[in-house]
Chains A and B, each alone.
Chain A
């Protein structure tokens, strides 16, 4: 066992210990376990929301995309900053409504707003299906980190197993309290690691950031701006919009909104969070530096670029610190995702099927579901080969389909009814599933159209289908159901 691995395992143990400590003295009922008793202030919410953003995806996927795709990786920076802008107006009404009705999950929100437990099951299903690729992404990253940091002595598969067992135990014991504390340790560590690497590496190899970019540009002309076709400007704009709309539709992000103490917490955070995303810049610098220093990583291997460059540059103990930071970026979001998926299934699916089940029983079912979901994700982790970004974008196009129904539920008098919401979400999700399985893009269907349209993210089409179906079905069901209500009111009163 080398020094790098010892550091990584020490941090893993510390995280589990602090997670267990965090829940001491608290009665872990459902509201405590999943939304922290609604008592989190600005700093914890900041860490929880930021904790979900700076995941293994940022660390490995962000540098991996800079390495293999160049400029299109910039989209990550834009969508996160813009998502915070939306949160200023979107989150306070959601939080207020959730507190008033004592909601615990995202599904609860739809059930309550549209008065339809069936819609809740659909929303829970979409959430859990989207969470699986996101979890796979974390586990994959975990495997890459531990196995690379062991200098090849631990296989990725064994590394994934170790990590998954750690996360599962951690979640079952401490719930959201553990995540918030570990998020604090993680954010401090990752901040220093990323800034250090992002500055040290370009200076070490090229003598500066601009010389590094110039070297990349002269080796691959045009790599540092958006290409004219494919991942072009129109791809960038449509992808950013899709991901901005999807950002808060992740059930775990939506759920962490409920744990805030008051609505002001979100407003204040919109000032600091965009600045925080600048940290991603340093991740890109690492990816760009790696292009000429560790050439030849193809496809999904691009995600290895950051660690390969570290191995080649640093002493084992620094590799250990980098690996430990990476491990935490998988642990915190991974635990949030697991907990949320379990809560959704227990509360919004199991409870609907077994209405007599007690609160105690629901909480126990939720905890027992954690290892089940872990194992399912583990299976996909060990069998798939997609890059981290591909996995993330797939999950995003799924959860984005919940956005229209949510948006139109915020007014006191909703524009759409439960039938419309249900049909819209279903149509959008089926569209995404079809596109993902058949690998259709706008370009393959309409090869002669201009690039500006061909390169649009297919999620845009799914979203349009979703909205059209939503309004269409609302309109039709209103025409069918309203006449009987109209006669009832006209009999009841003569006014209007």
Chain B
């Protein structure tokens, strides 16, 4: 596994591993209970992480050129 593949583990760590530590209602962030905000935050971070993975992956560009 390359370093960029390990990036794919991060969303799991944040969204699943983090929950026992943030399972609380307060403080409200953006109007949401904290645990819900945490999950939403990680959904957004997942997109960011996958954008980085796409950027780093040479396969993406190769297949682009091949059509």
Contact = CB atoms under 8 A, between A and B. Distances in A.
Interface size class of B (residues with CB under 8 A): 35 or more
A67 to B, nearest CB: 15
B16 A240 contact: yes
B51 interface: yes
Given A86-B8, A237-B16, A267-B57, 9 more contacts: A74-B39, A78-B42, A88-B8, A89-B5, A217-B33, A225-B23, A263-B59, A267-B54, A275-B43
7 closest Cβ pairs, A-B complex: A209-B31, A210-B31, A224-B33, A270-B50, A274-B46, A264-B63, A274-B47
A208 B32 CA distance: 11
Given A213-B33, A217-B25, A85 B46 contact: yes
Contacts of B66: 262
B35 A225 contact: yes
Contact of A84 (B32, B36, B50, B64): B50
A268 B54 contact: yes
A71 B46 contact: no
A463 interface: no
Nearest to B7: A85
B11 to A, nearest CB: 5
Nearest to A217: B25
Nearest to A73: B36
A264 B60 contact: yes
Given A226-B19, A263-B63, A274 B43 contact: yes
B19 A237 contact: yes
Contacts of B8: 85-86, 88-89
Interface string A250-271: 0000000000001110011011
B53 A224 contact: no
Interface in A273-316: 274-275, 277-278, 281, 284
A88 B51 CA distance: 11
Contact of A85 (B12, B23, B33): B12
B17 to A, nearest CB: 8
Interface in A231-245: 233, 236-237, 240-241
B28 A213 contact: yes
Interface in B18-63: 19-20, 23-25, 28, 31-33, 35-36, 39-40, 42-44, 46-47, 49-51, 53-54, 57, 59-60, 63
B15 A82 contact: yes
Contacts of A208: 31
Residue among B32, B64, B66 with the highest chain A CB neighbour number at 10 A: B32
Contacts of B20: 233
A228 to B, nearest CB: 9
Contacts of A272: 47
Contacts of B50: 84-85, 88, 270-271, 274
Given A85-B11, A88-B53, A277-B43, A74 B36 contact: yes
Contacts of A224: 25, 33, 35-36
A264 B64 contact: yes
A74 B16 CA distance: 12
Contacts of B33: 71, 213, 217, 224-225
